[in-house]
Structure 1
Amino acid sequence: MRRRPPFRSSARPRRRAAQAVLAVAALAFTTVPAAQAAPPPAAPGAHCARQAQLRVPGAEHQRSACLDELTTAGTVASGHTDPADWAGLTPKDLAVPSGAPGIQIDGYFPDTSATNTNHGWQHDAQFVIRLPDRWNGGLVVAGTPGNREQYANDRAIADWVLARGYAYAATDKGNTGLAFHRDGKAPGDAIAEWNDRVTQLTRAARAVVAQRYHRPPARTLATGMSNGGYLVRWQLENHPELYDGGVDWEGTLWRGDGPNLLDFLPKAMRAYPVYAAGGPGAEEARRELHAAGFPAGSEFLWPYHHKVYWDLTQRVYREELDPGFDGPTEAGTPYCLPGTPACDADYDYAARPAEVRQAVRKIALTGRIGKPLITLHGTLDALLPIGRDSDVYARMVREAGRGALHRYYRVEGGTHTDSLVDVFPDGGLRPLAPCHRTAFTALEGWLAGGHRPPASRTVARPVGQDAVTLANACPLDPPMAAGTPS
């Protein structure tokens, strides 16, 4: 298997309007030198108390700012978030909470890669830590979905938890963008770094919380969507001592012997063009897509996912875990037809050499969680099909003897990206953001004792609700829909 090429830094086209926002942000930050005379500490409850004393353990660089608003109700205007990071992840009708003044710390840990260009730093392992003045005693830690940067969860997760009084920390996972696979020396290294960076940030953020509030967090919770959900699973399996629990929002499943996305995405790439062309082979191609895991009823989502997700996702993750498949070509040939040499549409994970499965095992999940975990996943997910992902992970947790620590909610009508609810208003979709919030609240009650969450179930899509209500409400214990797993 070929060695990775030297990492190449390339400034990706940056975000139009967000460029101006970030330029202003660079001026708005207060730089905290390593050796600065500390003023007398302010009272713990005062606005931005102890800002000058805060140091992120292990950080190579940090900047802090005292903000009147830590949610996106204020950070968009002040330049302390990047809307391009979270574009497309939430429904348009999701409410924007406010009323969380406090301290924001941005910075980075030592790293050798440079895909993240936020703040002009050209440096990976960037993080953001937010410390509200009115603290509830808890800390929420998140890794980003996809290959996005550290502000990607600001609308979907950070806004809500900050408004509830949690301190919040997020990492870019140590590499970003479509060329993330260039990081690391061996296959699997770039994804393995994601796990290490979440662990690193959790330890550092717990220390910063103790500096700011004179006591460590009473509760540390991990949460995230997609790749961020994978990180929650991995952390609770491998570092349960750092957390009290977690909420996994449609986490990516990696298993050495499958299923994983390198199993089912090539099947979709082969079958979809035949299905879309119509004719005598179309019905058989539909059955092949269903057999690959893409659920019946999700057909209206297939053209979008074929155009946007399936091909690209397969190629970049296959390059990370099996770079030898296409020889010196980097990340394959886009939209090649079956039969084209080294075409990802013909990729057969089961037939690849043993070292490929070994690379996947480097990042694989086991189901052996050590703290309470709530998983939610949409039944119409057309990127990570529920039957090849969270259904399997829930079974893994039970088989590992950890079922008492797990709740699993299959959300009827949910899909992988909440913005598709707005793109397909007549498709019977519902956003998962409010379901995540309900699950998070259920986890709080579970950890407090005496309020066990509802049993694992399929959460039926309400009939007749308007878009605003659907975007902001999702009870987990209505009557069960058909198909609830036992």
Structure 2
Amino acid sequence: MYLRSLAIAPLLMATVLAVPAAARTGPVDVRVPGAEYTVSARLADLTTTGTRLTGHTDPADWAGLEAPGTTTPSAVPGVQVDGYFPDTSKTNTNHGWNHDSQFVIRLPDHWNGGLVVAGPPGLREQYANDRIISDQVLAKGYAYAATDKGNTGPEIYKDGDRPGDAVMEWHRRVTELTVAAKQVTDRHYGRTPRFTYAAGLSAGGYLVRWQLEHRPSLYTGGLDWNALTFTADGGLLATLPPALRAYPRAKEGDRSAHAAMLAAGYPEGSERQWEWHHKNQWDLLQRVVREELDPGYDGPAQAGTPLCPEGTGAGCDTDYHFASRPRAVHKAVKRIALTGSIRRPLISIQGSLDALTPPAAFGDVYHRMVTNAGRAGLHRYVMVPGGAHTDGLVVLDQDHLRPMLGNFTAALSDLEAWTRPTSTS
């Protein structure tokens, strides 16, 4: 049985290792193994309070991910390293580099011996988690590393040679950065991390699960938040088209269409979010993900026709039926699908009113997958009443939605207690 509430365990802090005084005052030139280009800077504050003033973050990248009025920790001095690994795609325009596989590594002066690695949600870039993850973990003394996943924006399907290549690159880039960041801490602090966690929201949460299934030796544990879950049954390709078909009719008061939305897994009580998701996410993500995994569906067109009405027919993503697609399409999806066979402790927090990766079709499904794989003892599944897909959506229904950032930080403390039971304050 999964957990319905999260007990906030006492924070078991590791001994803090400070950077030597000479390193705090001297020139900065941090080398990142395998990187093609890097630039380092000593900053008075590595959190967004400081980095948005110095240009070491991009507020547009984390826009909409936090509830209005959210405050985050600040005053964490240290070193920031920006750069990129070798890559041929150029969707990420940050810093004017026009180069993908960009990353950021932050090294606080007062280090707790740990590292947190993250990938961005959706089609965003390496600074997307700066408010919701980086600020939180830096305040605890963690080093932090984030990747852009190797491709960004609404045309990720152009990266790679065969269906699924762009998504598989996401995993390779997380692994690449984790390995490099551990070596960076070794050179900067004099030792490698004693504990390393993968963390992420939405698509970033999917990355966490994949890493714990396939690269467990790199991590102590993981924490995901409303994670996307690709499965052999299609994931988003199975859940988005029913919403695209039913919502326009449900909006007009068609009760059978409303029932179809609920039957597809969209939570009762999330209705006030549906219009926003229909305009901004369901259609876009369906077309982008489908083009990446099933490019033949719309022939020579790329990513279909936006918001084509139900009944348009061939090539319209509203009429897409994953189950009836050719074997090659199912093979492409299986290539990127999760199995549930995690090999390190994982905490998953899931919003009960998430209308993009709804619990019935995503969080609940993955918990069953983990259980069926015989790994139930490594998974704690936390349902957060009133949680939407991102905290920025709280404004759509302030009577029923609540921010989940506090649950994320509590879950991190719980993960620390679970995976480091002998830590001392």
Normalising by structure 1, report the TM-score.
0.81
Match 1:203 to one of 179, 195, 198: 179
Alignment correspondent of 1:34: none
**Pairing of 1:378-417 with structure 2 (within 5 A):** 378-417=351-390
Alignment correspondent of 1:305: 277
Distance 2:146 2:241 in 1: 32
**Pairing of 1:56-455 with structure 2 (within 5 A):** 56-258=32-234, 260-278=235-253, 282-341=254-313, 342-426=315-399, 428-449=400-421
Specify the SS of the correspondent of 2:110.
coil
8 Å contact from structure 1 (residues 50, 212) kept in 2: no
What are the superposed Cα offsets for residues 70-128 of structure 1, whole Å, 9 maximum, x if unpaired? 00010010110000000000112222211210100000000010000000000000000
What are the superposed Cα offsets for residues 338-385 of structure 1, whole Å, 9 maximum, x if unpaired? 221311111000000011111111111011111100001101010111
What are the superposed Cα offsets for residues 48-77 of structure 1, whole Å, 9 maximum, x if unpaired? 367645210100000000100000010010
Q: Which runs of 4+ in 1 moved over 3 A?
A: 45-53
Bigger RCO of structures 1 and 2 (CA < 8 A, at least 6 apart):
2
Distance 2:22 2:47 in 1: 19
8 Å contact from structure 2 (residues 123, 154) kept in 1: yes
How much does 1:218 deviate?
Answer: 0.7
What are the superposed Cα offsets for residues 182-236 of structure 1, whole Å, 9 maximum, x if unpaired? 1000010001100000000000000000000001111111000000000000000
Specify the SS of the correspondent of 2:152.
coil
Distance 1:376 1:389 in 2: 11
8 Å contact from structure 1 (residues 43, 49) kept in 2: no
Give structure 2 stretches of 5+ with no counterpart. 1-17
What are the superposed Cα offsets for residues 392-430 of structure 1, whole Å, 9 maximum, x if unpaired? 00011111111111100011100101111134322x101
Alignment correspondent of 2:8: none
8 Å contact from structure 2 (residues 29, 39) kept in 1: no
Alignment correspondent of 1:459: none
Distance 2:354 2:121 in 1: 15
How much does 1:43 deviate?
Answer: 6.2
In structure 2, give the amino acid aligned to 1:327.
Answer: G
Distance 2:25 2:210 in 1: 34
Normalising by structure 2, report the TM-score.
0.93
Distance 1:274 1:118 in 2: 41
8 Å contact from structure 2 (residues 117, 197) kept in 1: yes
What are the superposed Cα offsets for residues 160-201 of structure 1, whole Å, 9 maximum, x if unpaired? 100111000000000000111110000100011000000000
Distance 1:43 1:235 in 2: 30
In structure 2, give the amino acid aligned to 1:312.
Answer: L
8 Å contact from structure 1 (residues 338, 345) kept in 2: yes
In structure 2, give the amino acid aligned to 1:269.
Answer: L
**Between the two proteins, what is the percent identity of the paired residues?**
58
In structure 2, give the amino acid aligned to 1:223.
Answer: A
Distance 2:88 2:26 in 1: 31
Specify the SS of the correspondent of 1:48.
helix
Distance 2:73 2:97 in 1: 30
Alignment correspondent of 1:29: none
8 Å contact from structure 1 (residues 90, 418) kept in 2: yes
Distance 2:78 2:422 in 1: 32
| More divergent stretch after superposition (50-59 vs 384-393) | 50-59
Specify the SS of the correspondent of 1:310.
helix
Distance 2:21 2:300 in 1: 58
Alignment correspondent of 2:4: none
Give structure 1 stretches of 5+ with no counterpart. 1-41, 452-486
Computing the radius of gyration over CA atoms, which structure comes out larger, 1 or 2?
1
8 Å contact from structure 2 (residues 205, 228) kept in 1: yes
CA RMSD of aligned residues (A): 1.4
1:302–1:61 distance in 2 versus 1, CA, 3 Å: same
Alignment correspondent of 1:469: none
